């Protein structure tokens, strides 16, 4: 072997080592980026209503700004996904979205007057519509289709951990410092969030790590928006997601109202446990779900999510004991882990080599918003008219319809015998 061959071999080995280091750093950076994103978003949960109430806002004013924010979030799902598809780097889109969320938090903390709060809620909703699809797009750029299942599982695990830590930390801030401190901390979290984003390294062109086209900036034109909107598999999947959230979103709030009436002294502690238990289940099992979805396919886990929701709603129809209610929330963790991973995976399968992955995520995100919005309306009306038992039975029936839809009509999007290629 000539000296030049030894030099070439050594150079290639060094390049491989460097690429491995970059890949490891990118994956770890994405882990912590999803963790801090969850921290950021937790600050905009129920803490907003508490903060505004402390500043003498009426419930109608609070409801108005929250509703407007929700409507913007719903309307912005598909445009947000299209924006992520159209830019060269989803990291750039994610960075601007994080800054937007930080500015929203800072404005809330500094000027809790109607116009500023309304503007901050709109900015937060719009930024979230971009950030949501940007994270799976970054994941796909780093690991490619073959590794996306496990990667999404890690994302879900770190998001769950971030939500748990943030809820505890921000609750402590609100209790021991002030409600305003929650949003100042949220704004400060922009710094570590952007730092972890900078650690990720993706291909900013049109291809993922395995050569799949994932961006509209591609060698070949991306599929038209109409083509994606008319995709049969995507429409069936979106329909099942509407039914899932139509049955799911109202379930825990309705049970919370029952617990508050029957055990007012324990209601807050029980509700906290009902929130924490599913998050722990998700954090533990999400990576396993992502790995197994590459072997077993997507439909089984989608059916498990809907079946677990049916059982949970039936349990709520039959039991009122607080300990049994908390135990039933284990089923919510199973559903959340499966749905949280199947949404980006199935969208990636359906849109592979179309350049419209984030648009598909936006379409399904709209389905989530529609189902969740009508769920609280339907659940509240049924509760008042027919009582809690029949309401939970009705929600179980809605989830059952979704289960039958997936079982009978939804195609498997991962091709048999392949981790990488979707069904044609």
Asked if the structure places residue 261 within a domain, the reply is yes
Rounded CA gap, 187 and 166, in Å?
13
Together in a domain, 191 and 242: no
At residue 296, φ and ψ (nearest 5 deg) are -90, -15
Residues 65 and 186: beta-carbon distance below 8 Å: no
Tell me, yes or no, whether 420 lies in a domain: no
Q: Quote the CA–CA distance of 370 and 128 in Å, as a whole number.
A: 17
Is the same domain home to 99 and 53? yes
Pull the structure tokens for residue 65.
Answer: 């700004």
Regarding whether 331 and 375 lie in a shared domain, the answer is yes
Nearest Cα residue to 139 out of 83, 91, 193, 87: 91
Is 144 in the same domain as 190? Answer: yes
Is residue 239 located within the same domain as residue 385?
A: yes
Would residue 250 count as lying in a domain?
Answer: yes
Specify the pLDDT at position 404.
95
Pick from 159, 190, 220: which residue ends a domain? 220
- Backbone phi, then psi, for 55, in 5-degree steps? -100, 25
Question: At 214, phi and psi to the nearest 5?
Answer: -130, 0
How far apart CA 199 and CA 205 sit, in angstroms, is 18
Last residue of a domain, one of 164, 198, 220: 220
Domain contains 419: no
Residues 206 and 266 in one domain: no
> How far apart, in whole angstroms, are the C-alpha atoms of residue 239 and residue 105?
34
Q: Tell me the CATH number at 149.
A: 1.20.1250.20
In this prediction, residue 222 carries a pLDDT of 60
CB 105 within 8 A of CB 47: no
Q: What is the mean pLDDT of each run of 10 residues along the chain (424 residues)?
A: 51 46 76 88 72 75 76 85 84 92 90 88 90 88 81 86 80 75 86 90 51 43 71 91 92 81 71 81 88 88 95 92 89 92 90 82 89 84 88 94 94 62 38
Let me know whether 179 and 243 are in one domain: no
Task: Judge if pTM exceeds 0.75.
Answer: yes
Q: Which residues contact 130 (CB under 8 A, 6 or more apart)?
A: 80, 83, 84, 93, 94, 96, 97
> Is 424 among the domain residues?
no
Q: Please indicate, yes or no, if residue 421 is contained in any of the structural domains.
A: no
Angle at 99 between CA 95 and CA 102, to 5 degrees: 140
Domain of 384, in residue numbers: 223-412
The reply to whether 95 and 200 lie within a common domain is yes
**331 with 398, same domain?**
yes
pLDDT at 205: 43
Alpha helices in 224-356 (DSSP H): 225-229, 232-248, 251-262, 267-296, 299-318, 322-350
**Does residue 43 lie in a domain region?**
yes
Domain count within the chain: 2
Residues 210 and 271 both lie in one domain: no
The pLDDT tens digits of the residues spanning 366-415 come to 899 888 888 878 888 888 888 889 999 999 999 999 999 999 999 888 75
Q: What DSSP element (H or E) covers 408? A: helix 388-408
Same domain membership, residue 180 and residue 231:
no
Q: Decide: 139 and 30 in contact? Cβ < 8 Å.
A: yes
Closest CA to 269 of 325, 328, 312, 331: 325
Whether 418 is covered by a domain: the verdict is no
332 and 185 together in one domain: no
Smallest CA-to-CA distance from 357 within 253, 176, 213 is with 213
State which of 204, 220, 236 marks the end of a domain: 220
């Amino acid at each position: 072997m000539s000296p030049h061959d030894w030099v070439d071999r050594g150079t290639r080995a060094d390049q491989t080592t460097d690429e491995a280091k970059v890949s490891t750093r990118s994956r770890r950076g994405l882990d912590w980026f999803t963790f801090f994103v969850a921290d950021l978003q937790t600050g905009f949960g129920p803490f907003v209503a508490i903060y505004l109430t402390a500043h003498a806002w009426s419930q109608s004013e609070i409801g108005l700004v929250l509703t407007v924010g929700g409507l913007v979030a719903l309307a912005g799902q598909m445009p947000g996904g299209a924006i992520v598809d159209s830019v060269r780097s989803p990291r750039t889109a994610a960075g601007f979205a994080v800054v937007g969320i930080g500015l929203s938090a800072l404005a809330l903390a500094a000027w809790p007057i109607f116009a500023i709060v309304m503007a901050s809620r709109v900015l937060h909703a719009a930024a979230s519509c971009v950030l949501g699809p940007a994270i799976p797009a970054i994941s796909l750029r780093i690991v490619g289709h073959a590794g996306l299942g496990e990667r999404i599982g890690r994302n879900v695990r770190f998001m769950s951990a971030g939500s748990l830590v943030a809820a505890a930390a921000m609750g402590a801030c609100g209790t021991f410092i002030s409600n305003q401190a929650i949003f100042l901390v949220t704004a400060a979290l922009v710094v570590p969030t952007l730092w972890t984003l900078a650690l990720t390294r993706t291909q900013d062109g049109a291809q993922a790590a395995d050569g799949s086209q994932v961006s509209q900036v591609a060698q070949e034109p991306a599929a038209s928006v109409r083509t994606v909107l008319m995709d049969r598999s995507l429409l069936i999947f979106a329909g099942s997601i509407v039914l899932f959230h139509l049955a799911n979103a109202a379930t825990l709030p309705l049970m919370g109202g029952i617990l508050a009436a029957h055990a007012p002294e324990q209601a807050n502690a029980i509700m906290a446990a009902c929130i924490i238990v599913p998050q722990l289940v998700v954090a533990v099992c999400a990576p396993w779900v992502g790995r197994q979805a590459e072997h077993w396919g997507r439909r089984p886990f989608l059916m498990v999510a809907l079946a677990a929701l049916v059982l949970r709603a039936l349990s709520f129809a039959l039991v009122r004991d607080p300990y049994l209610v908390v135990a039933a929330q284990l089923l919510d963790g199973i559903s959340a882990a499966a749905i949280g991973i199947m949404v980006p995976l199935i969208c990636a399968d359906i849109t592979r080599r179309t350049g419209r992955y984030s648009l598909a995520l936006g379409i399904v995100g709209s389905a989530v918003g529609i189902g969740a919005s009508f769920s609280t309306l339907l659940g509240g009306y049924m509760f008042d008219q027919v009582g809690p038992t029949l309401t939970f039975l009705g929600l179980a029936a809605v989830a059952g319809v979704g289960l039958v839809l997936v079982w009978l009509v939804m195609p498997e999007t991962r091709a048999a015998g392949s981790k990488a290629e979707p069904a044609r």
